[in-house]
Amino acid sequence: MDIRTIFANMSWLATSQIITSILAFFWTIFTARYLGVNDYGILGFVVSLSAMFAIISDLGQSTHIVRSVSVDYSKARDYLGNAIPFKSLLSVVYILVILFVLLITDSSEITILIGLLFAFESVIKNFCSLFYGVFQAHEKGSYQAIANTILNVLTFVFIILAIYLDAGLWGITWAYIFANVACIVYTVYILCKHFEVPKIQFDFGFWKQLAIFGFPFALTTIFYTIYYSIDIFMLNQLIGDFATGIYNATYKLINVLTLFYSIYTAVFFPVMSKLYAKEKSMLKTTLSKSIKYLSLITVPIAIWVMIYSPDIIQFIYGNQYAQASIVLNVLIWTVVFLFINGAASNSLNASHKEYSVTKIYVIAAVFNVISNLILIPKYSYIGASAATVLSEILIFVLEIYALHKLNLSPNKGLILDTLKIVVASIVMGSALYFAHLSMWLTIPVAVIVYLVVGFVIKMFDNDDIYVIKQIIGR
């Protein structure tokens, strides 16, 4: 395992994601303030709906291709040549499904039209993801990072332009579409210049193979998406646009943080696939270290957000979204479990246990739907938040059990490391709570307190120090 290659890819993707997160942070603010709670609720509903059914246009092909091509680069031509026309056919089916759902839910005319446009935007994204898979398999994270930066810079620019021109919800929608079109143009150019010029193939036997091997990943994505998107859908149908707007505003903030999860997946999934094929003993170590490093970042962030959630919502959205602070207090913990569960899922997928992951997400999705049906009518967006976090905790328990059966469960040292992380985070949070400092001043104070406590209780071991030295080239 080449630590420098991993770090180089992560650096590119992290830089891109930092840019993305900053821009997404601002366009979320501008969009929510400009549209108001009700129109922002409509936007959240159609985005959630398009995401819920987006897997129809992919059927797990992209993930399967990453795993296969990362082991044998020569397979890229056949995979791309067949995936493109197969994906095009599936995309037509996907758009028709979106139209059908919008009609049977008795959506307004503007919601139907905006929903169809976001379905088209989702199709473009899915094709970009297919080509990103080739970049990831070759461990060339820089190309994906540049494409991602282009996409999000243009999204930001076009949204600002739409707001300036007072183009309303229509203008915001077209802003997303134009940015994605520019992104796929760049992605195709890089693919043809540096990797493969796709040659369309209609090998139906290969299409069948793509569907069969991609099916477990597709099922996982379906149920994964259901329990992350069904809450917004159900809020809209059971409560209304206002509650959806409040919840969606908070959810967008969470999405800014969870975007960093895509860095981990893009960098480590190909590596884990190789480790399983060549160095299985290292896979367990990689998983344990991944969970530790992800927890080192997410746990203190969650504590900090809980303390300052009212200030965060007030600063970002203003008084009209004040009720969102309690939602943020709950939803922030999805970030912690999402990262940890993502590391576990990647290990299971890399070990060709994708059906185990699928079963876990099926259980979680059913649990989430039932929880939402029980909690939303009584507790509205707070109930939806609780259902999401409870689903993540359930996934965590089930995935740890699945890893244990494969003798891949994290080592016992991780338990002690996790306790140290929790202790350092609680000490940091307590110091901030009793200090009564302004939100901005607490950021450097929080970092200093957290690191000092971490070093005192020996939160970083010799392996961590070795990794740091490898990263900085010493």
Q: At what angle do helices 280-317 and 3-52 cross, to 10 degrees?
A: 60
Q: Which of 413, 407, 289 is nearest to 348 (CA)?
A: 407
What stretch of H or E contains 61?
helix 61-71
DSSP 106: T
Q: How many CB atoms sit inside 10 A of residue 471's CB?
A: 15
409 — phi, psi (to 5°)?
-65, 145
How many angstroms from the chain centroid is the CA of residue 465? 29
Q: How many CB atoms sit inside 10 A of residue 260's CB?
A: 20
What is the model's pLDDT at position 171?
Answer: 95
Place of tokens 């149908």: 237
Residue type, 401: Y
Contact 172, 39 (CB under 8 A): no
What is the model's pLDDT at position 11?
Answer: 61
What is the model's pLDDT at position 1?
Answer: 46
Q: Give the global pTM.
A: 0.69
Residue 87 DSSP SS3: helix
- pLDDT, tens only, 415-449: 888 899 999 999 999 999 888 888 888 889 999 99
132: tokens are 């990103």
Contact 187, 195 (CB under 8 A): no
383-411 burial, b at 16+ Cβ within 10 Å, e below that, comes to bbbbbbbbbbebbbebbbebbeeeebbbe
446-455 long-range Cβ contacts below 8 angstroms, 24+ apart: 446/300, 446/304, 450/300, 450/424, 450/425, 453/423, 453/424, 453/427, 453/428, 454/420, 454/421, 454/424
**What torsion do the CA atoms of 207, 209, 214, 218 make, to the nearest 10 degrees?**
60
18-49 burial, b at 16+ Cβ within 10 Å, e below that, comes to ebbbebbeebbbbbbbbbebebbbbbbbbbbb
Per-residue pLDDT of the chain (474 residues; tens, 9 = 90+): 444 555 555 566 667 767 777 888 788 889 988 998 888 888 988 988 888 888 788 777 767 676 666 656 666 677 777 878 888 888 999 999 999 999 998 888 999 999 999 999 999 988 888 787 777 766 676 787 888 889 989 999 999 999 999 999 999 999 999 999 999 999 888 888 877 777 887 878 877 877 787 777 777 777 767 767 788 888 888 888 788 889 988 887 887 776 666 665 555 545 544 545 455 556 667 777 778 888 888 899 999 999 999 999 988 888 888 888 999 999 999 989 988 888 888 778 777 776 788 788 888 888 999 999 999 999 999 999 999 999 999 999 999 888 888 777 767 778 888 899 999 999 999 999 888 888 888 889 999 999 899 888 888 877 666 655 654 554
- pLDDT, tens only, 204-219: 887 787 778 777 777 7
